[in-house]
Amino acid sequence: MDDFPRILAALGTEISTPAPIVLIDVVEENITRMQAFADAHGKAVRPHVKTHKSVRIGKMQLDAGAIGLTAGTLSEAEIFAAAGCPDILLAYPLWITGAKEGRLRRLSRATRLSVGAESAAAIERLAEVMGDAADALGIVIEVDCGARRSGVRPEDAGVLAAHATRLGLRARGVFTYPGHGGTIGARESAAADQAAALRTAVESLRAHGIEPEIVSAGSTPTAEFSTDPVITEVRPGEYVFNDWDNVRLGDSAPQNIALFLASTVVSDQGHPHVILDAGTKALAREGNPERGYGQVPSFDGYLRVLNEYHGFLELPAGGPRPVVGETVAVVPHHVCPVVNSFEELIITDRTGALLDRWPVDAQGRLN
């Protein structure tokens, strides 16, 4: 983060704010580090594309050794399949109707596709939609490990996998998401819950005569604790960019933050805050009123309030104050929805050399 002011100075007026600035050398290091960690523990990496939504960055992950990619929506998966990704896990409890029917069938021909499922009804729907081509679709049963989001009880995974097999689908394994590891001090225990759930789920599959190929664990905050022998792969997303939450949680160092939002001070009326041109539509209101909605480390300030196009940058009394027209670096609390707010990423490096502009290929693409 110490580099951000120097990078902004080097970029000068080449950029239109607000704009997401990506330090591609830091991205490369983050990808290398995660892959090396997983290699050392005998795990595969299947990065979640929700964070970057960029075909180019997905290719960097695959080139570094990722076995495939994870997507959250049919549209995301379509973008990465069209770009040549050979293996995609759509880690979501899909419900297929309408236009999604033809799209799922086409996608299953374009890549080696596996999708999440956690109810008999959804599995029956998937089988019905796939028809004669059911064996082209991999099913990965989602189990809950404590996030209480989607996912069946681990001991119920086998009966669903067997149901999928009976309907002609290919039951490939199980996955879970330890979302309850997203608070301070909870990463290690959530990872332990995850390992326990996955072990039970694997036993449940085996009791139904199914040997899983995929035993898949989330997430960036829990990745370093996801080393249980039962796990075959990890699905981190945020690690490519990292954000203020990752630093706060302790799974990332400040120097591993690879994306910030360049934002201009557009108003200073002498209040304890100045106004930036980054509001809800850019920063997605991630954070909360106490912690704020984005950090501005070089002024020790934070965005206390967001309107749609305005951010209230609260400044400590007596500290330095940016002037109107000055560009500042905002570190998002949660980077994923911020990237999704923009059509393109400004690609630079620690020196601030403007290298390129890359499209956010899967921007939006929510359904």
**Chain residues that interact with a copy of itself, rule: CB under 8 A:** 12-19, 50, 72-74, 92-95, 97-100, 118-119, 121-122, 125, 144, 148-153, 179, 264-269, 271, 273, 275, 277, 280-282, 284-286, 307-310, 312, 323-325, 336-337, 340-343, 363-364, 366-367
The minimum distance between CB 185 and a copy of itself, in angstroms, equals: 20
Shortest CB 323 distance to a copy of itself, Å: 8
Contact 266, 324 (CB under 8 A): yes
Q: For a copy of itself, which is the closer residue by CB, 232 or 315?
A: 315
User: In terms of CB distance, is 4 or 92 closer to a copy of itself?
Assistant: 92
- What dihedral do alpha carbons 146, 196, 49, 282 form, nearest 10°? 30
> In whole angstroms, how close is the CB of 211 to a copy of itself at the nearest point?
26
Cβ closest to a copy of itself, residue 55 vs residue 71: 71
CA dist 258 and 256 (Å) reads 6
Q: How far is the CB of 65 from a copy of itself (least distance, A)?
A: 25
| Residue keyed to tokens 């139904």 | 208
Question: What's the rounded Cα separation, in Å, for the pair 51 and 53?
Answer: 6
For residues 99 and 207, which CB has a smaller minimum distance to a copy of itself in the complex? 99
Comparison of 12 and 229: residue with beta carbon closer to a copy of itself = 12
- Minimum CB distance to a copy of itself, residue 297 (Å): 22
Minimum distance between the CB of residue 139 and a copy of itself, rounded to whole angstroms?
15
Would you say 25 or 124 has its CB closer to a copy of itself?
124
Smallest separation, CB 305 to a copy of itself (Å) = 9
Nearer to a copy of itself among residue 43 and residue 180 (C-beta): 180
Please write down the HEC assignment for all residues of the chain.
CCCHHHHHHHHHHHCCCCEEEEEHHHHHHHHHHHHHHHHHCCCEECCECCCCCCHHHHHHHHHCCCCCEEECCHHHHHHHHHCCCCEEEEEEECCCCCHHHHHHHHHHHHCEEEEEECCHHHHHHHHHHHHHHHHHCEEEEEECCCCCCCCECHHHHHHHHHHHHHCCCEEEEEEECCHHHCCCCCHHHHHHHHHHHHHHHHHHHHHCCCCCCEEEECCCCCHHHCCCCCCCEECCCHHHCCCHHHHHHCCCCHHHCCEEEEEEEEECCCCCEEEECCCHHHHCCCCECCCECCEEHHHCEEEEEECCCCEEEECCCCCCCCCCCCEEEEECCCHHHHHCCCCEEEEECCCCCCCEEEECCCCCCCC
d(CA 123, CA 106): 18
Considering beta carbons, is residue 49 or 230 the nearer one to a copy of itself?
Answer: 49
Q: How many residues does the chain have?
A: 367
What minimum distance in Å lies between the beta carbon of 45 and a copy of itself? 20
Closer residue to a copy of itself (CB): 13 or 40: 13
- For the bound state, the minimum distance from the C-beta of residue 124 to a copy of itself, rounded and expressed in Å, comes to 10
